[in-house]
Amino acid sequence: MDGKITIPPPFFHRFGKFNEFCRMKNKLIEVIIASQNPVKIEAVRAGFEQMFPAQSFDFEGVKVASGVSEQPMTNEETLQGAINRANHAQKEKPDADFWVGVEGGIEKFKGEGETFAWIYVLSGSLSGKAKTGSFFLPKKVFDLVESGMELGHADDVVFGQSNSKQKNGAVGLLTGDVMTRKSLYMPAVILALIPFKNRAFY
C-alpha cells in the first residue's frame, strides 16, 4: 500500500463528479424563471431552496413567449408551453445556470375543465419536468374559457377579483387559500429537480 486512497469507479457513477459538485456548492447559482409573474417566481424559489438547502441562488424572472395559445387547452400543449418558455429564457439569458418554464393549462375531460400546470427545468444537457396536481373548474369559469377567455380573466369575472392569476389563482379562490398557486406549483418544481439531485441516474 502506498497510502493513497483509491475510490472505485462505481462511486463516481453513483454520485457524479466530486469536483463539479464542489464548484456548484461554492457558486451563486443563477436561476432564470421564464415569467415575471411573482407567484411563479416564488414557487420556483421555494422549490429550489427546499431541494438544495445548502446552495445559494439568485432568481430572476424574464418575459418570454410561450409559443402556444394564450390559454393552452390540452396536456400536450401545456407541457410544450413550459418547454418553449425555458428554451426562450435560455436564449434571453444564456449565461445562467438553470432556466425554468411554468405553464398552466386545461384539459377537457368528460365535459369538464381539468386545470393543472407543467414545470420544465433546463440546465446544460439535462432537463427535468413534472406536473402539478389537478382540479376541476366551476362550470361558469370553464364556459368562459371555452368561449376564448384566458383562465385568469375568467376567474376575475366569476369571482369578482382583479388580476387573481398573480395572486392566489383559481385554486386559492376555490379553497379559501388552503392551497394557493404557489403551494400548488412548488411540489412540481421539486419533482422536476429530481434529475439534478440525481445526475448519475439521468
CA distances from 127 to 68, 73, 82, 110, 158 (A): 20, 24, 12, 32, 37
Helices 151-159 and 139-146, interaxial angle, to 10°? 140
CA distance 83 to 188: 14
Question: Any residues with CB less than 8 A from the CB of 139 and at least 6 apart, and which?
Answer: 112
What's the pLDDT at 25? 60
What's the pLDDT at 27? 83
pLDDT at 165 over 90: no
Q: Is 3.90.950.10 the CATH classification of the domain at 9-135+180-201?
A: yes
pTM of the model: 0.85
Q: What is the pLDDT of residues 108-128, one digit of tens each?
A: 999 999 999 999 999 999 999
Among 6-20, 66-80, 87-101, 157-171, name the one with the lowest average pLDDT. 6-20
Categorize the per-residue pLDDT at 197 as very low, low, confident or very high, splitting at 50, 70 and 90.
Answer: very high
Contact predicate 92/82, CB 8 Å:
no
Categorize the per-residue pLDDT at 161 as very low, low, confident or very high, splitting at 50, 70 and 90.
Answer: confident
Domain ranges of the chain: 9-135+180-201
Decide which of 58 and 164 is more confident: 58
What's the pLDDT at 10? 34
On average, the pLDDT of the chain sits at 88
